[in-house]
Amino acid sequence: MTKKHSKIKKANKRKQAAKFKFEPTDISELQDHYDLIIVGSGGTGLTAAIQAHELGLSPVILEKMSSIGGNTTRASSGMNASETSVQLDHKIVDSMDAFYNDTFIGGGKKNNPELLKFFTTHGALAIDWLASHGIELDDLTTTGGMSVLRTHRPSSMAPIGGFLVTELLKQVDKENIPLFTDVLVKKLLQDDGTIDGVEVEINGEKSTIKGDAVILATGGFGANPKLLTKYRPDLEGYKTTNSPGATGDGITLASAVGAKLVDMDQVQVHPTVQQDTDHPFLIGEAVRGEGAILVNKAAKRFVNELDTRKNVTAAIDELKENGAYLILDQGIRDRVKAIEFYDKVGLVVTGQSIAELAESIGLDAKTLEATVATWNKAVDDHNDTEFNRTTGMDRSIVKGPFFSIHIAPAVHYTMGGVDIDADTHVLNEDGQAINGLFAAGEIAGGLHGNNRIGGNSIAETVIFGRQAGQQAFKFIQNLDKSSK
């Protein structure tokens, strides 16, 4: 295929994507029984539903909000995976062991080894599964804590979350998988210790939906101040990047049937969130991954910008300056399409020169010029003598105009949740599986240890979403056999 034809093909795909608008299933079509009930319509729930449907089940997706996609729609950087053909196409030789090691170290060596092993050995399969559905993540970037380029994203460099949800919804639409919004699951139902349905509330009316298994894909509790401060009182008053629906409903549902909770005090604060406006906007890690630096009010760098989120957050907090400033140029902006959106909503300050940019944000011009010059030399030499940064050094800050975004830390992700095994069974306090109940995504605790690496949440939704769909199918298949 010629480059011209390739561009035409990509342009046509963009036009088709722009035309697609998913419509939730009309509530009048809600039935009282499905093979599989999936609670939550983020990346995990959508992936689980598609996988289960492909195995022959009749799943339903129940979403409490009017909007679809949950926190997944807010993800911007990409999806981590190792030993992929995409990496080899970019001449990146990686290993699953290196992926495991980076994530283990990044999580303070507190990650659940069983979950982490499954996660790091199934990323490439998840990338291939997406590609087989026409969802191609064929470009690479990097995030804090990763030693090589393994954060996969679309070649359009569109923010991963909205892209993934839209593409998965196309599959849901194509396969006629029912997806209902404004349906609040209030209770998990049990029969002789096995989960066999849910009690729901629709427009104030309660009803029951039966199912052979239930998958909880409800996300975390980053938008629930009461629950956050219960486990982390030190985070009282912090703003959040989470969607309004991330209130920990699934954790409450699972706890009520005896599920064990793990790592509930492990809450990630994202270092780069623009929060000078009424609504906080997460500035994705890809901005730093493509070469941006952070400076303080003295116009100097103060941290390895691609250290783990936990360490970068700590460095910003230690400044006691109400945040810091991301500094980047047009070359970096060209590599992160989300910046166009950030600019559109008024988060970006522009200067035709470094000096002009400095004056616009109240920093000393000569100091910022010197800081950028020192950084550019570090990039040229591939040797950051100041902070030992080794990744995100592929381009200097030299191409005008130049840009700045003021950022400060905000609550972003909850690493804790219900205890699961690598088969996504929800476990009780004795470590035994609760029959018929599965969980995947941010609702589950243990995978990330005390710090989640950027790009691992989207990977988790697809990897464990697929696993939940497969294991629910296996469970239901065994039920059918035992009833014959």
Cα angle 37, 39, 44; round to 5: 105
Q: Which residues are catalytic?
A: 309
Please give the chain's pLDDT, 484 residues, in tens.
444 444 544 555 555 555 789 999 999 999 999 999 999 999 999 999 999 999 999 999 999 999 999 999 999 889 999 999 999 999 999 999 999 999 999 999 999 999 999 999 999 999 999 999 999 999 999 998 999 999 999 999 999 999 999 999 999 999 999 999 999 999 999 999 999 999 999 999 999 999 999 999 999 999 999 999 999 999 998 999 999 999 999 999 999 999 999 999 999 999 999 999 878 899 989 999 999 999 999 999 999 999 999 999 999 999 999 999 999 999 999 999 889 999 999 999 999 999 999 999 999 999 999 999 999 999 999 999 999 999 999 999 999 999 999 999 999 999 999 999 999 999 999 999 999 999 999 999 999 999 999 999 999 999 999 999 999 999 999 987 776 5
Identify the pLDDT of residue 480. Answer: 73
In one-letter notation, the amino acid at residue 90 is H
Kindly report the pTM of this predicted structure.
0.87
Report residue 239 as tokens.
């703003």
The answer to whether residues 114 and 424 touch, using CB atoms and an 8 Å cutoff, is: no
Residue 234 CA from chain centroid, whole number: 24
Q: What are phi and psi of 457, to 5 degrees?
A: -75, -45
Closest CA to 135 of 175, 176, 167, 166: 167
Say how many Å lie between the first and final Cα of the chain, rounded: 54
Burial status of residue 29 (CB atoms within 10 A of its CB: 0-12, 13-18, 19 or more)? exposed
